[in-house]
């Protein structure tokens, strides 16, 4: 199978296997199968027909009995429950947590109200993205954040190294990695009504980006009103011993309407919502400005800098970046990662970073990077798939309107 995208790692590769040196391919892809980590819900997934695939060192469900198409549509119509316990939850504690974290991320952490959070980016010295992360200021001396599974080792090494240096200068910060907890994402229009059945707290007062520690289904949970689908919803950090019970309770309370949903539909949903997948749409050499995340650089941070790569990033804000992330529509075959983008003259102007067929829009969508000047919505482009150039156009994102729960 050709094409890119994270699930190439995990999906059935029967067709490729059939054509290549079977043993060597099999060994390369599956050598670590026995070593794959399992979440607390592993048996639950298997019992529910989850197709388990290797993903970032974990065995994760790519889909269940529903097709990816049906799962994607059901999330927007009713709701989805995802096991995202492969992601790494982390707490920073200590009175200098904020000033420490601000050295590593672009967000105005100090400016966040307690109990609120934001999407941010960990940057390197060149202004490139080490990872994206949702961070929450729980209190002035407690930050809770979640980083990508595939970046866990890299991120922890990076944070750890800077933390040692910071502490050696007398800074008060320490971390706790929440390996005792599991993370579930409940997304879609039924997310709030279903979850409300399982807690006494009033969820109508918890808005997008807000955080609360509360009892859900009898267990002490960290609840963030956020997600990766464009829908209203929550990420629930639950003690691992309570994770299966919580998943069962959510499915039961929804009377079967909220469905277990795998990584396959999760990728369709985030793409429709115009959200980046780290490793595809954002990488070490891509800055937050190029990725269209300038909004996530707080005003104070733009004035003061003080994070890794700030010189590069602040200069890009002033001068404009040379490349920009854009959304694309194209007829014909779906454009996948690494498809070349050309201007109307057939000159290379960039590359698709992720793309596919949108189950909701019933047409192909993609995102990628183009040279500045070609980034305006409506710009006609060509996208090369298997050697053939197809007409396409730059378009605004999100592709599907987001429905975050915000105060009216």
Least separation in angstroms between CB 67 and other proteins? 5
Q: Is 28 in the site for other proteins (CB under 8 A)?
A: no
CA quadruple 40, 88, 369, 6: dihedral, nearest 10: -30
CA quadruple 153, 289, 117, 37: dihedral, nearest 10: -20
Burial class (CB in 10 A: 0-12, 13-18, 19+), 407: exposed
Cα separation of 247 and 325, whole Å?
36
Cα separation of 129 and 140, whole Å?
26
Cα–Cα distance list, 139 to 91, 107, 333, 358 (Å): 11, 16, 49, 39
Q: Tell me which of 35, 386, 401, 408 binds other proteins, using CB under 8 A.
A: 386
Q: Does residue 280 contact residue 8 with C-beta atoms inside 8 Å?
A: no
Cα separation of 31 and 267, whole Å?
25
Q: Is 351 annotated as a binding residue?
A: no
Question: Which residue's CB is nearer to other proteins, number 33 or number 215?
Answer: 33
Q: Tell me which of 18, 34, 113, 401 binds other proteins, using CB under 8 A.
A: 18
**Distance from CA of residue 79 to its chain's centroid?**
18
Question: Which residue's CB is nearer to other proteins, number 229 or number 287?
Answer: 229
Q: Is 24 in the site for other proteins (CB under 8 A)?
A: no
Q: Is 14 in the site for other proteins (CB under 8 A)?
A: yes
Contacting other proteins within 175-214 (CB under 8 A): none
Q: Tell me which of 9, 17, 25, 156 binds other proteins, using CB under 8 A.
A: 17
Q: Which segment (185-193, 299-307, 308-316, 333-341) binds other proteins by CB under 8 A?
A: 333-341
Contacting other proteins within 49-108 (CB under 8 A): 49, 51, 62-63, 65-69, 72
Q: Which segment (275-283, 291-299, 316-324, 351-359) binds other proteins by CB under 8 A?
A: 351-359
Q: Tell me which of 114, 160, 306, 332 binds other proteins, using CB under 8 A.
A: 332
Question: Applying CB under 8 A, what is the total number of residues that bind other proteins?
Answer: 36
Q: Is 343 in the site for other proteins (CB under 8 A)?
A: no
For helices 263-272 and 68-77, angle between their N-to-C axes, nearest 10 degrees = 60
Least separation in angstroms between CB 257 and other proteins? 19
Cα–Cα distance list, 260 to 50, 252, 270 (Å): 9, 12, 16
Q: Is 46 in the site for other proteins (CB under 8 A)?
A: no
Cα separation of 116 and 310, whole Å?
24
Question: Which residue's CB is nearer to other proteins, number 102 or number 267?
Answer: 267
Q: Does residue 147 contact residue 160 with C-beta atoms inside 8 Å?
A: no
Least separation in angstroms between CB 58 and other proteins? 16
Q: Which segment (4-12, 304-312, 317-325, 372-380) binds other proteins by CB under 8 A?
A: 4-12
Burial class (CB in 10 A: 0-12, 13-18, 19+), 295: exposed
The structure tokens 């006609």 sit at: 380
Q: What is the CA radius of gyration of the chain?
A: 21
Least separation in angstroms between CB 392 and other proteins? 14
Binding residues for substrate, as ranges, are 235
Binding residues, as ranges, are 235
- Enumerate binding residues for other proteins (CB under 8 A): 1-3, 5, 7-8, 11-12, 14-15, 17-19, 26, 30, 49, 51, 62-63, 65-69, 72, 264, 267-268, 332-334, 336, 356-357, 359, 386
């Amino acid at each position: 199978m050709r094409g890119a995208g994270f699930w190439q790692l995990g999906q059935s590769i029967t067709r490729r296997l059939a054509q290549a040196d079977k043993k060597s391919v099999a060994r390369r892809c599956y050598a670590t199968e026995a070593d794959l980590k399992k979440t607390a819900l592993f048996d639950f997934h298997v019992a529910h027909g989850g197709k388990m695939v290797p993903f970032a060192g974990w065995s994760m469900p790519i889909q269940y009995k529903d097709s990816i198409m049906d799962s994607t549509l059901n999330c927007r119509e009713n709701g989805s429950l995802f096991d995202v316990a492969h992601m790494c939850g982390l707490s920073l504690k200590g009175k200098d947590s904020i000033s420490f974290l601000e050295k590593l991320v672009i967000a105005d952490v100090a400016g966040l109200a307690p109990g609120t959070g934001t999407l941010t980016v960990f940057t390197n010295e060149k202004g490139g993205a080490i990872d994206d992360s949702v961070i929450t200021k729980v209190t002035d001396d407690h930050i809770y954040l979640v980083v990508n599974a595939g970046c866990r080792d890299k991120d922890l090494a990076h944070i750890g190294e800077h933390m040692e240096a910071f502490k050696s200068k007398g800074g008060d910060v320490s971390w706790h990695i929440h390996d005792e907890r599991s993370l579930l994402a409940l997304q879609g229009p039924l997310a709030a009504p279903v979850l409300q059945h399982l807690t006494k707290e009033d969820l109508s007062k918890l808005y997008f980006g807000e955080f609360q520690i509360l009892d859900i289904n009898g267990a002490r949970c960290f609840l963030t009103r956020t997600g990766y689908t464009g829908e209203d919803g929550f990420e629930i950090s639950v003690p691992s011993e309570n994770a299966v019970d919580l998943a069962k309770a959510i499915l039961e309370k929804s009377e079967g309407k909220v469905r277990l949903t795998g990584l396959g539909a999760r990728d369709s949903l985030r793409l429709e919502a115009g959200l980046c997948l780290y490793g595809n749409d954002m990488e070490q050499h891509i800055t937050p400005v190029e990725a269209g995340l300038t909004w996530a650089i707080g005003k104070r941070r733009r004035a003061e800098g003080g994070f890794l790569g700030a010189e590069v990033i602040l200069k890009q804000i002033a001068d404009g970046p040379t490349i920009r992330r854009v959304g694309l529509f194209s007829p014909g075959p779906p454009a996948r990662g690494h498809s070349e983008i050309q201007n109307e003259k057939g000159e290379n102007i960039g590359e698709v970073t992720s793309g596919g067929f949108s189950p909701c829009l019933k047409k192909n969508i993609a995102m990628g990077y183009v040279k500045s000047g070609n980034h305006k919505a409506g710009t006609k482009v060509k996208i090369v798939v298997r050697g053939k150039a197809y007409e396409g156009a730059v378009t605004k994102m999100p592709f599907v309107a987001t429905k975050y729960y915000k105060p009216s």
